[in-house]
Amino acid sequence: MVKKTDTFVYSFVRGSVLLIILFTASSGLKAQDSISGSTIVKTDSVQRDVVDIMKELFGIHPSDKTGNMKPGDKPVFSFLPAVGYTLQTKLAAIFSSNVAFFTSKKSNTPISIINASAYYTQNKQFAVPVQVSVWNRKETFNLLSDIRYMKYPQSTYGLGSNSSLENEDPLDYQYLRFYQYLLRKISGNFSAGIGYNLDHYWQLSEEGLAGGGQSDFAKYGTGSTATSSGYSVHFLFDDRKNPINDKNGMFVLVSYRNNVTWMGSNTNWQSITTDLRKFISLDKSAKNILALWLYNWIIVDGKPPYLDLPSTGWDRFTNTGRGFIQGRFRGKNMLYAESEYRFNLTKNGLFGAVFFLNAESFSDATTLRLQKIQPASGFGLRIKLNKKSDTNIAVDYGFGTQGMRGLFVNIGEVF
């Protein structure tokens, strides 16, 4: 069962294990810093990162081969063992690898990358995710893939944002995801494309409510297997310079997904997601940033499997709802908003901090009306992992409602 509180000291000690290992292996992460393929913001000579500190303290001299990658170079491979922590997983042993490469020798060619990892957690969860972003030689098409296998015990708390932690219902299942998209540049910062989406669950079971009674999971009518399969259409506007750590610009992604029985789906159902992000520099040096995020996930028609309903922390990068455990709220419609103030703590950029505030609201599966708004807030520390790509280690502590709180660790900004 999930505890309502998690002490800061204990959580920070566990989460900091990841930071210690990443400090010593940070040179291996450089290949994945440019996954977006966009222009990387250059920093001046006074900027500092973890690699600089390790060189001084321990005489470590990591190779600059990956950080200095340019079109025409051979592919660069990286491997990284690590330990992490989240509310959902508790302690996690992680092995990550990637290969970064260019498909053209042109000077402005976007970088292509393939990431693969495997992790096992204290909660007996096992997952193997693979993400792909590959550009063609003419830089007109971008092939994107998200493939995952997960053995994933996870609790659900009922439908709607009025649900209580007392209604925790532990689930267990195996999960296969296969998402494949092809986007084409239309004009300037606009792109559009199509894709295929498959979500398949099997050996799905519930433990049931501790106090007895029928859970929302049982009422919804999900069996031991479930499949959603269909095509999707995507429209993208992106004028950001560095998606790894945005200083200015806007990102807008609208996706329509149509799941149909003739493609193997259990039922016909459709959804629309809108992902809008705006970044505002509050000074000329871009040391103070206001970041805004609006994420809407709507089931337009039909009845998805229970685990395919919009849910906290199940967005594309599993980052919505800092302050709540993944899967805390679930419903047919989701409205989510977040703001974050980012600022430097040191002039050399090695340390920074953030304050964040978010709010989410869900409908249940019957009325479709949005229920109670559930807010969360918190603060975080930023440690510069790679100054060339402006990649940070993000350590956040969030506070949700009903006493829920915990530590969240990411490589790169949350959004």
Question: Tens digits of per-residue pLDDT, 164-201?
Answer: 999 999 999 999 999 999 999 998 889 999 999 999 99
The predicted structure's pLDDT at residue 60: 60
Residue 30 has pLDDT above 70, yes or no: no
Question: Which residue has better confidence, 316 or 56?
Answer: 316
Report how far residue 277's alpha carbon sits from residue 355's, in angstroms, rounded to the nearest whole number.
17
Band the pLDDT of 41: cuts 50, 70, 90: very low
Question: Which residue has better confidence, 135 or 304?
Answer: 304
345: DSSP letter: S
Domains and CATH numbers, the chain: 8-411 (2.40.160.50)
Task: Tell the residue number behind the tokens 């693969």, with chain if given.
Answer: 116
The residue-averaged pLDDT of 96-106 equals 79
Estimate the crossing angle of helix 8-25 against helix 50-58, to 10 degrees.
80
Report how far residue 46's alpha carbon sits from residue 64's, in angstroms, rounded to the nearest whole number.
18
Residues 197-231, buried b or exposed e (16+ Cβ, 10 A)?
bbbbbeebebeebeeeeebbbeebebeeebbbbbe
Phi, psi of 363 (to 5 degrees): -95, 165
Report how far residue 68's alpha carbon sits from residue 284's, in angstroms, rounded to the nearest whole number.
27
Nearest alpha-carbon partner for 193 in 138, 231, 154, 248: 231
Cα 365 to Cα 129, 146, 295, 305, 371, distances in angstroms? 29, 27, 19, 11, 11
The predicted structure's pLDDT at residue 69: 59
